[in-house]
Amino acid sequence: MQIIRTIKDMQALSRNIRDEHKTIGFVPTMGALHEGHMSLMKRSGDENDFSIVSIFVNPVQFGPNEDFRQYPRDIEGDLNKLSSIKVDIVFFPDDKEMYPDGFSTSVNIGSVGEILCGASRHGHFNGVATVVAKLCNIVMPHNAYFGQKDFQQTVVIKKLIKELNFDIDVIVCPTVREHDGLAMSSRNIYLNHEERKAATVLYRALKLGEDLISSKGLVDALYIKNEMKNLINSGPVSNIDYVEIVTTEHLEKVEKIKSPVAICIAVRIGKTRLIDNIITTGIFPFATDYQT
Ligand code: AMP
């Protein structure tokens, strides 16, 4: 496994791989790796001749009052984990390499980046789109792998790749969870013992929403969201940022559920903001409206 720290070296390597007609799979990460990240890397390793992972905590996707400085960093631990699977190259640039003095370009992804998480994290998705665009030009992958865990991010990235004409296939991989359903996240280490127990409420609320739609056949999104909110509010230390039911393609809010939807939530557990989602295909041909 090679560790590359400069853009110039990374581009030269990728160019050589492409010249040999080999495929490149790419997994961008911010490090503090866990099984969720590893599942993407295993898939990239299986499906490509070369698998490249980037580790870069991207400053431009953090707001001024967010956790950029505290964000967990563990490059030694990360490299150990990577050595146990098929990863050929780790791209590990520093901030100056990615954003040299005077850097001022950014990608504006538009309104899809201003709803859900974007409503409270202003500019976050433009920061994500900017770094992913840069990384794609540096790594030049054929296939790029992202987790469904960050569902809005997958929609943003698909839009970026399509609208800026990157010749890259975006592959979305399932969310990897702890035994009790909590979605794995680098931020889970912020949770104390009590908060860790309380954090399972995200998955429980999503399963409730999924059950109301897929098993009970309910279609009234407001009713379903309220049931989920009641469950979340019944637990300790949780504070809802949003509970939304949206279309899977453009993240438009749904009132009557008629086709597959994404149930998306963001909840603060203590000071830690966690997100999760479930996509449900429902039982639409038989769906009945909720009657009070
Ligand atoms: P991050 O390091 O948080 O930027 O995540 C890097 C990639 O890993 C993103 O595509 C995430 O969606 C993905 N990812 C993070 N957590 C999980 C998880 N629990 N299951 C699947 N993918 C994940």
Cα(20) to centroid(ligand 1), Å: 30
What's the CATH code of the domain at 214? 3.30.1300.10
Judgement on whether residues 150 and 199 belong to the same structural domain of the protein: no
Give yes or no for residue 36 CB within 6 A of ligand 1: yes
**pLDDT at 58 > cutoff 90:** yes
Q: How many domains does the chain have?
A: 2
Q: pLDDT for 9-35, tens place per residue?
A: 999 999 999 999 999 999 999 999 999
Give the residue-averaged pLDDT of 264-269.
Answer: 98
The reported pLDDT for the residue numbered 242 is: 98
Give yes or no for residue 33 CB within 6 A of ligand 1: no
Q: Tokens in use for 145?
A: 């792998």
Please, what's the b/e burial string for 9-35 (b: 16 or more CB within 10 A of its CB; e: otherwise)?
Answer: ebeebbeebeeeeeebbbbbbbbbbbe
How far is Cα 159 from Cα 18, in angstroms, rounded to an integer?
25
Contacts of 113 (CB under 8 A, 6+ apart): 124, 125, 126, 128, 129, 156
The reported pLDDT for the residue numbered 236 is: 81
Q: Tokens in use for 121?
A: 């994290």
Cα(256) to centroid(ligand 1), Å: 30
Residue with the smallest CA separation from ligand 1 atom 5 is: 29
Judgement on whether residues 167 and 198 belong to the same structural domain of the protein: no
Residues assigned a catalytic role = 37
Give yes or no for residue 203 CB within 6 A of ligand 1: no
The verdict on residue 22 lying in a domain is yes
Give yes or no for residue 188 CB within 6 A of ligand 1: no
Q: Which atom of ligand 1 is nearest to the CA of 175?
A: 20
Amino acid at 214: S
Judgement on whether residues 207 and 136 belong to the same structural domain of the protein: no
The reported pLDDT for the residue numbered 124 is: 98
Judgement on whether residues 257 and 149 belong to the same structural domain of the protein: no
Judgement on whether residues 163 and 46 belong to the same structural domain of the protein: yes
Judgement on whether residues 98 and 210 belong to the same structural domain of the protein: no
Most confident range (mean pLDDT) of 54-58, 258-262, 281-285 is 54-58
Give the residue-averaged pLDDT of 37-45.
Answer: 98
Instruction: State phi, psi for 212 to the nearest 5 degrees.
Output: -65, -35
Q: Which atom of ligand 1 is nearest to the CA of 185?
A: 16
Give yes or no for residue 38 CB within 6 A of ligand 1: no
The verdict on residue 286 lying in a domain is no
Please, what's the b/e burial string for 232-263 (b: 16 or more CB within 10 A of its CB; e: otherwise)?
Answer: beebebbeebbbbbbbbeebeebeebeeebbb
Cα(218) to centroid(ligand 1), Å: 31
How far is Cα 10 from Cα 141, in angstroms, rounded to an integer?
11
**pLDDT at 289 > cutoff 60:** no
**pLDDT at 147 > cutoff 80:** yes
pTM over 0.75: yes
The reported pLDDT for the residue numbered 284 is: 57
Question: Which of 173, 197, 224 represents a domain boundary (last residue)?
Answer: 173
The verdict on residue 143 lying in a domain is yes
Give the residue-averaged pLDDT of 49-62.
Answer: 98
Is residue 172 within a helix (H) or strand (E), and if so which, with residue range? strand 169-173
Judgement on whether residues 219 and 271 belong to the same structural domain of the protein: yes
Could you tell me the residue range of the domain that residue 260 belongs to?
186-279
